[in-house]
Structure 1
């Protein structure tokens, strides 16, 4: 069978089902809702392993220098440095990400987190006004901050470059206009199965009989069953969903439907959740995905053969369901990674701007400089940095609401950052 593309098990997992809607579910750290269809929303959970790194991955000399820069910043300045606006994140997004589907998905997830307030990006967080910031425990720990900025943050460009893109329209594979096609993309269905909790597996194998009927009718049309055989297959389907008494059907084989249980009132079919049973059921549908069945007339002259055809359709339906979940999982995983790394990159830039400003202000305070030296008589870049910061701090309204003037300050500092770095 053609298989689903491998899902990295160390990344996102499907841990629960939102049964009462997203608004009522108590999302934990690094969890977001994953919409599958109108009847199913799951909960994705991301690993925190990216912040748990071996000591060999950290340059101790650079860490020491960073810790010195970190210690020079006052708590107030550090808090300001660790706040960036959505505009800063989206500007970088538009510059680095060519896929329009990816950009829209990142913007959608950002807005979703603003509205929900869920701690999905921990240790990053997004406030109600769209300000991206960092947890106090992380920003106050120089080693954690260095790891976040210069080890995790270094993965942004590599992650974006590694995404396969169409040469024609620059869309990535997951946001390609061809993703609606039913053909699987390759890989192993076990990979998506293994990242699901038991609750998610139980929900996946709970089949709506109306959706199964739709798959069955498409299958019957595709293979041009004659009228008698088509009716025989539909009778086998009605037996499965409990609408027809199996005792009235000559040749019915109860063993074929073992592992399947119907709920006539709920219009559900419960499929046995054991991995071997699922593998066997999907194996029945293998020729459909491998291209082994041509569009030719097929027959089901007996009820047991008709049952076999129903089981084939059940395998097709289940495989397409798993494939749809795989697509949703991979796309949302990619979106989350982009937003996380873009947020880290924006915070790093903000920190470096404030850090450079502090370095230059410290230079101006050196005792060997003339006592009447003012920012205006110093290097022009330093003067601009110091002046922008002084004006912002002197305004009492700004001190009361630092978020409102953060963007203006960042822009002023950004203008002189290049000159300030090379000026001394």
Structure 2
């Protein structure tokens, strides 16, 4: 796949921890990100649409056509056409987005942006009443609006289509991607080429506050992970007790000085603490394990967890304290890997939802803009196409009608023709041209034939017609009526038609002179 334009959404950073109770005020281009029941972070997006619009080289012809449409609308019509309400946007949502998870996420994000006071996009905005429209800085500038409709919109469509799968579920809402055990530490072989983001890359995009928060492990949730690990590898009851006692040493419940075989180096980078949480009239104490936030230590823990996930279900034992300590560290690595993978998945899904709502807003505004221009200018593109098809059908019908009339005249002429050819020197047809009356013979030989030839030559030179040329047309039959468009087309091309007619007449006269000369020589 060629390089896909992401407009900066893949450069989103985690800039802080979000606390609902404190009612933190978010800055522009920031959104809260749900990680789990105990943790929410703040995502800082980077919208590069406004930064790149001046560097785009557009087609002059396409821009002039767009400028003609843009100038055809007044200020009120432009404001109405470059916006859409919430109900109409959600009606068009299933037609543009096939993934059910993406549709639900877009609806939730729209309502979230609608209630927030900060702006999440630079080029579009959502009002508290549910009205989505183009920002004034883009709407009042035709070059920016052209860039948004004709450069950004097609690239966004291609990007979002690259995420879709055959089963109509997008990549990030598939069940397989949500399982951390199905992927390696890097995750890159399982993702498209444009998504150069792994678990450790998300770690690099976090601020120090977020790193400290994500590496603070709650002991209550960790015990569940440790019990699942012990059950998976079928530890005996004695070994389970050793592992639990090693964990109690880490939390400070058991004095490590009284445990033979204890190694303090194994727990290096880990420390425990007791935190007190107050709510209304009650206070609760909770124990936590803090993991070292150095990048090299985190990479080591993730590699350790990755090796465990690829190892399978092997039976294990922990007969000594130091081995039990290593098993506790393994459980911490697994818990940390699961939490970072959940953060990685939530971040990418949130970024995709942010981009999908951005595309939906631009697509809906572009469609409304085109409809407003069609209503203002006149016949739209579909109506013009239908009219063109109807015109082609009329031309075909006209040609078929002319062929039928021609066959009808030929048939009538054959019915009126005598059975044997008889000289009709006495039968003449009269050709009136001013005050002069001329005669021509249809059949004959000798002197009458020569007279016929000379008569036709004189008629060609004088631009006259013979009545016998109209034998196939009845008096009551009227010529086919011409449409106004055919008449206008003839008037535009009158000079060329007359010149072509003159050339054909001259050619026909010359050819007929040759034919008359050859006929006279034969006689």
Partner residue, 1:47? 46
Cα gap change, 1:160/1:101 in structure 2, threshold over 3 Å: closer, same or farther? same
Q: Which residue matches 1:419? A: 383
User: Which residue matches 2:304?
Assistant: 284
Q: Secondary structure at the match of 1:32?
A: strand
Matches within 5 A, 1:111-122: 111-122=111-122
> After the TM superposition, which residues 16-415 of structure 1 pair with which residues of structure 2 at under 5 Å, given as runs?
16-21=16-21, 24-53=23-52, 55-167=55-167, 170-179=168-177, 181-185=179-183, 186-187=187-188, 188-265=198-275, 266-290=286-310, 292-296=311-315, 298-360=316-378, 381=379
* More off after superposition, 143-152 vs 53-62: 53-62
* Contact persistence 2:124–2:361 (CA under 8 A): yes
Structure 1: distance between partners of 2:45 and 2:96: 23
Alpha-carbon distance in 2 for matches of 1:59, 1:48: 24
CA deviations over 1:9-65 (Å, ceiling 9, x no partner): 8443222210245x8122222222111111111122222123332634433443344
CA RMSD of aligned residues (A): 2.4
Distance in 2 (alpha carbons) for counterparts of 1:178 and 1:49: 31
- Decide whether the 8 Å contact of 1:51 with 1:152 is kept in 2: no
State the Cα distance separating 1:354 from its structure 2 match: 2.4
**1:33 touches 1:41 (CA, 8 Å); kept in 2?**
yes
Residues 75, 9 of structure 1: CA spacing in aligned structure 2 closer, same or farther, 3 A cutoff?
closer
Q: How far apart are 1:220 and its partner, in Å?
A: 0.8
Q: Normalising by structure 1, report the TM-score.
A: 0.78
Shift of 1:320: 0.5
Q: Using the alignment, how far apart are the partners of 1:354 and 1:166 within structure 2?
A: 35
**Counterpart in the other structure of 1:368:** none
Specify the SS of the correspondent of 2:181: coil
Q: Which has the larger displacement, 43-52 or 300-309?
A: 43-52
Query: Does the aligned pair in 2 maintain the 1:165–1:173 contact within 8 Å?
Result: yes
1:189-214 CA distance string (max 9 Å, x none): 22221222222212111111112211
Shift of 1:352: 2.1
SS in 1 for 2:266: helix
Return the offset for 1:422.
7.6
Q: Matches of 2:91 and 2:156 in 1, distance apart?
A: 15
Gaps of 5+ in 2: 1-7, 189-197, 276-285, 389-523
| Cα deviations by residue, 1:152-179 (Å, 9 ceiling, x for unpaired) | 1112431232114253xx2223222445
- Which protein is bigger by CA-based radius of gyration? 2
TM-aligned CA deviation for residue 113 of structure 1: 1.9
What TM-score do the two structures reach when normalised by structure 2?
0.64
For 1:286 and 1:57, the matched residues in 2 are separated by 47
Contact 2:148–2:362 (CA<8 Å) still a contact in 1? Answer: yes
Contact 1:300 1:306 in 2 (8 A): yes
Are the counterparts in 2 of residues 353 and 417 from structure 1 also a CA contact under 8 Å? Answer: no
Q: Matched residues in 2 for 1:284 and 1:113: separation?
A: 40
Cα distance in 2, alignment partners of residues 9 and 160 from structure 1: 12
Counterpart contact for 2:123–2:135, Cα < 8 Å: yes
Gaps of 5+ in 1: 1-7, 361-380, 382-415
Change (3 A) 1:140 1:33: same
Aligned mates of 2:265, 2:19 — CA distance in 1: 33
Q: CA deviation at 1:322?
A: 0.8
Distance in structure 1 (CA, Å) of the matches to 2:159 and 2:303: 35
In 2, Cα distance between the equivalents of 1:70 and 1:221? 68
**Contact 1:239-1:246 at 8 Å conserved across structures:** yes
- Counterpart contact for 2:29–2:120, Cα < 8 Å: yes
Q: Using the TM superposition, give the Cα deviation of residue 116 of structure 1 relative to its aligned residue in structure 2, in angstroms.
A: 2.7
State the 1:421 CA deviation: 8.3
Q: Check whether the contact 1:184–1:323 (CA below 8 A) recurs between aligned residues.
A: no
For 1:202 and 1:43, locate their aligned partners in 2 and report how far apart those are by CA, in whole Å: 14
8 Å CA contact 1:356–1:420 kept in 2: the answer is: no
Distance 2:268 2:181 in 1: 29
* Equivalent residue number for residue 402 of structure 1: none
Instruction: For residue 173 of structure 1, give the secondary structure of its aligned residue in structure 2.
Output: coil
Deviation at 1:125, TM superposition (A): 1.3
After TM superposition, give the deviation of residue 182 of structure 1 in Å. Answer: 4.1
